[in-house]
Structure 1
């Protein structure tokens, strides 16, 4: 009998065109190559919709709508959590008896649910979320957005205690690993670096002809980094800089 595993992800992880999606997508491929039977649960929103590519690595793929805007807000739960609460997700997790891998704090609305008490539950942390949202707030110029991000950071800091309901926390970086180990001493914490497709070094010798910056330019922090590069690094440089987002 193959090992079964639920994977709950905050987004549709294909195309794998940004950091979190890359980690989830290539983790999915790696686990599938080991013969693990995966039940993949994805939240659709914006331009991230159902992808047939995911079916070849999964026993079954489920899609859920994310409740965005005011309807996704809650007085106690962070927006990134509450907007991904979906009764059908809980029903599907209950129906198939298998361990659950929650990708990101975003997906953990049912981590401590009584119906899942006997399951082995893993949380893959992609950030220290409350610190990340504080940084986002400090980089935005919009007062309304700044207030929302600071509020989200405070709620996430309080909500993070839900990790005590996990059997295992998988951190993605050494600094995050130290943080979670220290703060959640009663929970097993393992450092599992990001999954990616580059298993061989394929760098060419010599120097390139340009510098490439790639990032999500809808995030103020990355936009600020681009402006710094343009104004402080490449303004007087003879090396062309290509910015892709």
Structure 2
């Protein structure tokens, strides 16, 4: 008998060019590989958001417009949730009794409107959003943004406590799982992120550069890029590349002033893969006091790159500490770069990564955790 599933994505999952979309798109592919018939619903930024590739994996694809910013303001619900409360979506979900996977806290504003008799509902928690917004507030110096992020953090904490207990909540990391269990949720499962990489394929020997990559329009990644340019890259005379989506003018200007540094704006998926493999060092510092959600940049670097340098918060609780070189200060990171740049990447480190990554990020195994609950 055919099995059908509604998946509600907070944004269009394709192209998979950031952590959240990579996680969602690979989950869609994994369900499809298991023979699940998918009715996909997603929220779009504009009318041009539809991607033809989604039709390869889904029986139906339906998009919905997000509400305007002013229509999302509320004293009881975060704006990112309010933006996705959509009556047409509720009606489409209630036309049948297929199980529902809600991607992100963002899509849960309709959860109590979904017909529940005899059907399972699972919420994929991408982050502990109250922590995420609090850290965004710490990362910005813009007073208006800081106030908005703090308000969203407080509203999120209040809103999360109102979610129903008769659903499965699938968290991406152990810290998030513990947080939701402490809030009283009963069925909280740890289901790691779904990466695009399933086999460790790191080039041995010597690479030719040091790489920092990420979505540069995200405040934390912008801050990390500027910090590296000002405090680390200017201390070591080797080639550096900063690569990522939508670099702001602050990063463009700083990179232009830094010798031995090149900025690669909006690389394609294949271009980014090429950069990760050509790099001798992938450097991925994090500055949030509390990091929540997936660390897919780190996972990418470990599956495909050579030496990986990071800071303690990025690897905390991941079980991947052994595969990384960890520094806490600019001087420490510069020193590690200087040492590693002339050290070949060897087979024993590849075997270590296979041991640490293989079972944890097995998409075929992890999709079964969803299937066992939903059917």
Please tell me the TM-score bracket, short chain as reference.
over 0.9
Q: Output the TM-score relative to the length of structure 1.
A: 0.94
Flag the 1:48–1:158 CA change in 2: closer, same or farther, 3 A: farther
Question: 5+ unaligned residues in a row in structure 2: which ranges?
Answer: 245-375
CA contact (8 A) 2:76 2:158 kept: no
Q: Output the TM-score relative to the length of structure 2.
A: 0.62
Q: SS of the residue aligned with 1:115?
A: coil
CA contact (8 A) 1:122 1:166 kept: no
Choose 158-167 or 95-104, whichever is displaced more.
158-167
Q: Which residue of 2 aligns with 1:33?
A: 33
Q: SS of the residue aligned with 2:152?
A: helix
Displacement of 1:6 in angstroms is 0.7
Q: Which is greater in Rg? A: 2
Aligned equivalents of 1:40, 1:57: Cα separation in 2: 9
Aligned equivalents of 1:109, 1:66: Cα separation in 2: 13
Q: Which residue of 1 aligns with 2:191?
A: 192
Displacement of 1:90 in angstroms is 0.2
Q: Deviations over 1:169-213 (max 9, x none)?
A: 10101211222223234x211111111121111101123211222
- What is the RMSD of the two structures over their aligned residues, measured on CA atoms? 1.6
CA contact (8 A) 1:112 1:162 kept: no
Q: Which residue of 1 aligns with 2:236?
A: 237
Flag the 1:223–1:122 CA change in 2: closer, same or farther, 3 A: same
Q: Which residue of 1 aligns with 2:52?
A: 52
Q: Which residue of 1 aligns with 2:133?
A: 133
Q: Deviations over 1:132-159 (max 9, x none)?
A: 0000011111111111111111100101
Question: 5+ unaligned residues in a row in structure 1: which ranges?
Answer: none
Flag the 1:153–1:48 CA change in 2: closer, same or farther, 3 A: farther
Q: Which residue of 2 aligns with 1:92?
A: 92
Flag the 1:188–1:220 CA change in 2: closer, same or farther, 3 A: same
